[in-house]
């Protein structure tokens, strides 16, 4: 088998794993934050209160009744079987890092570098990517441990500005697509760092204290809860970034960092609404503000309308139209067909991206709207402008499409 084909299969399997473990991790995060917001304290003097239970909940699911209980600090006696929620987080991060290497780092020339943004080498691009993950965690953890970490609202604002600054810098060093994914990877590293470096070690200290016959220090539970809530607010922005590579209208825009900043803010506002609602507080200002931001972004980056194709158009194609199409076909053969062909010649591609072929007049006509959007309106293709398409060539494609793409 060809190397590119094998890498495609590796990409598929690791991406599938990443999605599956991510669902498990984020699902658990959402559930436990929901549970914390919905448990109800027991009656004073009741059996549950005397056991040290701070809250309980009755629920029905899958035909069964459940009664989860949360202790104020810990039960008086350590249970024989204790489940640890950690491998969901670790597996998601490890598979995500594998994706970074397979998709971006092993093909950094095509996936990370845009010469119109910054003229850097593949090694420099990879170093910037990995450095962002490390620096992001170190700074985030330092802020959490600082006096700022005791003020949730102010901490949230400062962290948001830190993430926006990272997006601004990355969008001026890497291709927009790579910049976005590394902002998401940085946030994902913060999330898994919370689990690995704070939540699980704190829980181990509580368990060790109980095994030694001592009362656990509640500070470990409080710190773990704080980091868990942080992870909860990171989730919607990270999920958007995971799918952002499908939407060049965002990452390829001249103001891509600002677009990302707005979408992150919208995700946090919407998540905050649900967190409040689970505590019995409904404040519609937050989702309305979040949706308003998304609407404003969609309007602000909307491309100018083009004349629609008239597929019912009949008649003889003029010599001028034939000449225009010949120019377009030559441009596509030179700039696009290296990837968009039955057998791509561009290294790293075993099949045409998104299955789009541009080798025949019929294929070009069929995909005219996509060609116009990606190459002219968004300037997202060719990927990282590997084939050095010029502005004049984009204009030729644009005039051809707007004239009816005949």
For the chain, give every domain's residue range: 84-268, 319-402
Q: How many CB atoms lie within 10 A of CB 306?
A: 15
Contacts 24+ apart (CB under 8 A), 190-193: 190/136, 190/137, 190/140, 190/141, 190/230, 190/234, 191/89, 191/93, 191/230, 191/231, 191/234, 191/238, 192/89, 192/90, 192/92, 192/93, 193/137, 193/140, 193/141
Task: List the beta strands (DSSP E) in 110-261.
Answer: none
When computed from its CA atoms, the radius of gyration of the chain, rounded to whole angstroms, is: 26
C-alpha 311 chain-centroid distance: 38
Q: What pLDDT score does 374 carry?
A: 87
Question: Higher model confidence: residue 148 or residue 1?
Answer: 148
**Three-class SS of residue 272?**
helix
pLDDT per residue over 245-279, tens digit each? 888 889 989 999 999 999 999 999 999 999 999 88
C-alpha 50 chain-centroid distance: 45
Percent of the chain with pLDDT strictly greater than 70: 95
Q: Which residues of 158-173 are buried (b: 16+ CB within 10 A; e: fewer)?
A: ebbeebbebbbebbeb
Q: What pLDDT score does 109 carry?
A: 87
Please give the angle made by the CA atoms of 382, 388 and 389, to the nearest 5 degrees: 65
pLDDT per residue over 352-390, tens digit each? 887 788 999 989 988 898 898 888 888 888 877 888 899
Q: What is the mean pLDDT of residues 24-41?
A: 92
Indicate if the pLDDT at residue 231 is higher than 60.
yes
Q: What pLDDT score does 387 carry?
A: 87
pLDDT per residue over 40-78, tens digit each? 999 998 989 988 899 999 999 999 999 999 998 888 888
The first and second tokens of residue 189, run together, are 């590293």
In the numeric block, the tokens 């995500």 are attached to 96
Q: What pLDDT score does 20 carry?
A: 96
pLDDT per residue over 324-357, tens digit each? 889 999 999 999 998 999 888 887 777 788 778 8
pLDDT per residue over 283-303, tens digit each? 999 999 999 999 999 999 987
Q: What pLDDT score does 285 carry?
A: 96
Residue 311 pLDDT class (50, 70, 90 cuts): very low
Residue 185 pLDDT class (50, 70, 90 cuts): very high
Indicate if the pLDDT at residue 313 is higher than 60.
no
Q: What is the mean pLDDT of residues 98-120?
A: 91
Question: Higher model confidence: residue 167 or residue 363?
Answer: 167
Indicate if the pLDDT at residue 136 is higher than 90.
yes
Beta carbons of 233 and 239 less than 8 angstroms apart? no
């Amino acid at each position: 088998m060809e190397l590119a084909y094998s890498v495609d299969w590796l990409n598929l399997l690791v991406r599938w794993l990443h999605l599956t473990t991510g669902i498990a991790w984020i699902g658990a995060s959402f559930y436990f934050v929901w549970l914390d917001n919905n448990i109800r304290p027991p009656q004073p003097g009741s059996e549950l209160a005397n056991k040290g239970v701070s809250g309980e909940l009755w629920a029905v699911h899958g035909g069964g009744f459940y009664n989860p209980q949360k202790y104020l600090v810990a039960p008086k006696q350590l249970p024989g079987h204790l489940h640890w929620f950690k491998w969901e987080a670790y597996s998601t991060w490890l598979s995500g890092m594998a994706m970074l290497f397979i998709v971006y780092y092993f093909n950094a020339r095509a996936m990370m570098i845009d010469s119109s943004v910054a003229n850097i080498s593949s090694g420099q691009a990879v170093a910037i990517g990995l450095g962002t993950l490390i620096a992001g965690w170190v700074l985030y953890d330092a802020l959490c441990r600082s006096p700022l970490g005791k003020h949730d609202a102010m901490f949230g604002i400062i962290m948001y500005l830190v993430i926006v600054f990272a997006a601004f810098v990355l969008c001026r060093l890497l291709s927009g697509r790579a910049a976005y994914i590394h902002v998401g990877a940085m946030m994902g590293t913060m999330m898994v760092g919370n689990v690995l470096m704070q939540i699980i070690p704190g829980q181990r200290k509580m368990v060790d204290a109980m095994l030694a016959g001592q009362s656990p220090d509640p500070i470990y539970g409080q710190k773990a809860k704080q980091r868990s809530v942080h992870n909860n607010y990171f989730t919607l922005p990270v999920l958007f970034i995971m799918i952002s590579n499908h939407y060049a209208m965002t990452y390829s825009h001249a103001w891509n960092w600002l677009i990302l900043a707005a979408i992150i803010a919208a995700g946090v506002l919407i998540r905050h609404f649900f967190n409040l609602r689970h505590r019995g507080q409904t404040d519609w200002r937050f989702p309305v503000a979040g949706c308003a931001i998304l609407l404003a972004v969609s309007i602000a980056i909307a491309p100018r309308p083009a004349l629609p194709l008239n597929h019912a158009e009949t008649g003889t194609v003029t010599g001028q139209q034939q000449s225009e199409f010949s120019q377009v076909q030559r441009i596509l053969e030179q700039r696009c067909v290296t990837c968009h062909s039955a057998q791509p010649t561009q290294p790293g591609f075993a099949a045409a991206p998104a299955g789009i072929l541009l080798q025949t007049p019929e294929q070009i006509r069929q995909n005219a709207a996509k060609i116009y959007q990606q190459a002219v309106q968004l300037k997202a293709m060719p990927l990282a402008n590997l084939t050095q398409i010029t502005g004049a060539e984009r204009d030729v494609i644009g005039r051809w499409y707007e004239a009816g793409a005949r």
